[in-house]
Amino acid sequence: MSTAPLGIVSALPDELSALLALVESPTASTVAGRRLHRGCLHGHEVVLTLCGIGKVAAALTTTLLIEREGVRGLLFTGVAGGLGSEVRVGDVVVARTLLQHDMDASPLFPRHQIPDLGVDELPADEALSTALLAAAREVVQNPPAAVVGFGLTGPAVHQGLVISGDRFVSTSAESVALASRLPSALAVEMEGAAMAQVCAAFAVPCAVLRTISDRADDQAHVDFPRFLAEVASPLSREIVSLALKRL
């Protein structure tokens, strides 16, 4: 077992709470307003923390985890809005690549391109993503009781482009515009691509797992807190746990 911990990050408390409860021998410290929980999870040294919402919060937290905690890799687990027509509430998306949909330095650079890097999409780590994907496929076959209780049966697992920006996308007009500008995007959230950019700079592997909480449309706010507590939290616990057991 490596002594360098694996970082596990979420934006919202209920995205991490069920997983946090499983950490053995936890010790906590606070840096820059982030509570870092170190401990052991399924045989791995881990450090779990909430980053808060948005790209700056995610970038700051990722940098802290890499520079201060020396993490050997990062997993983001949380919720997202579904964009692809086949991506439904309750489904799980594992990022293959990530893009900042609000990055726009045109006309100096093409829209979405990260000027420093000359690319628009950044890849997630293949080994970590494959472990999450396999675990997600297995967990959705036999989902936690609360997920079934929420009326979600037969959730699907997808892998592909996840897009991030500093906006909660909650109108049909905006989600339709995003989907037509970025037709391969499966899901929209607010942190993943920022984490990926910082991880790329430090050459630290990262992966992003998202449960679809809404369709990024006019209904996006409906039952959001209940979904987080009853669906996203247990699904995240089950999927990340299974992936860790096999890593």
**Per-residue x/- track, 107-146, ligand SAH (CB under 6 A):** ----------------------------------------
The only residue of 19, 23, 80, 114 in contact with ligand SAH, by rule CB under 6 A: 80
Stretch that binds ligand SAH, among 108-116, 129-137, 144-152, 213-221 (CB under 6 A): 213-221
State both tokens at 204. Answer: 């630290």
The only residue of 91, 121, 125, 214 in contact with ligand SAH, by rule CB under 6 A: 214
Question: Count of residues for the chain?
Answer: 247
Unique residue bearing structure tokens 């997630």: 124
Report, in Å, the least distance between residue 190 CB and ligand SAH. 4
In the range 186-205, which residues lie near ligand SAH by CB under 6 A? 188-191
Cis peptide, bond prior to residue 205, ω within 30 of zero: no
* Known catalytic membership, residue 191: no
Q: What angle do CA 124, 22, 135 make, to 5 degrees?
A: 40
The only residue of 40, 63, 224, 229 in contact with ligand SAH, by rule CB under 6 A: 224
- Which has the closest alpha carbon to 224: 10, 15, 58? 15
Report, in Å, the least distance between residue 70 CB and ligand SAH. 26
Q: Is 221 in the site for ligand SAH (CB under 6 A)?
A: yes
Q: Give the DSSP letter string of 158-179.
A: EEEEEEE-SS----HHHHHHHH
| Number of C-beta neighbours around residue 13 at 10 A | 12
Q: Which of residues 125 and 189 has its CB atom nearest to ligand SAH in the complex?
A: 189
The rounded distance, in Å, linking the Cα atoms of 114 and 131 is 28
Q: Which residues neighbour 105 within 8 Å (Cβ) at sequence distance 6 or greater?
A: 113, 115
Alpha helices by DSSP H, 118-232: 126-141, 145-149, 172-181, 192-202, 224-227
Q: Which of residues 12 and 186 has its CB atom nearest to ligand SAH in the complex?
A: 12
Q: Is 216 in the site for ligand SAH (CB under 6 A)?
A: yes
Report, in Å, the least distance between residue 14 CB and ligand SAH. 10
The rounded distance, in Å, linking the Cα atoms of 108 and 115 is 9
Q: Helices 233-246 and 13-20, interaxial angle, to 10°?
A: 50
* Known catalytic membership, residue 138: no
Q: Which of 120, 189, 214, 230 is catalytic?
A: 214
Q: Could you tell me how many residues of this chain bind ligand SAH (CB under 6 A)?
A: 20
Q: Which of residues 39 and 150 has its CB atom nearest to ligand SAH in the complex?
A: 150
Q: Which of 15, 69, 125, 191 is catalytic?
A: 15
- Residues lying near ligand SAH in the complex (CB under 6 A) are found at 11-12, 53, 78-81, 168-170, 188-191, 213-214, 216, 220-221, 224
Active site (catalytic) residues: 15, 214
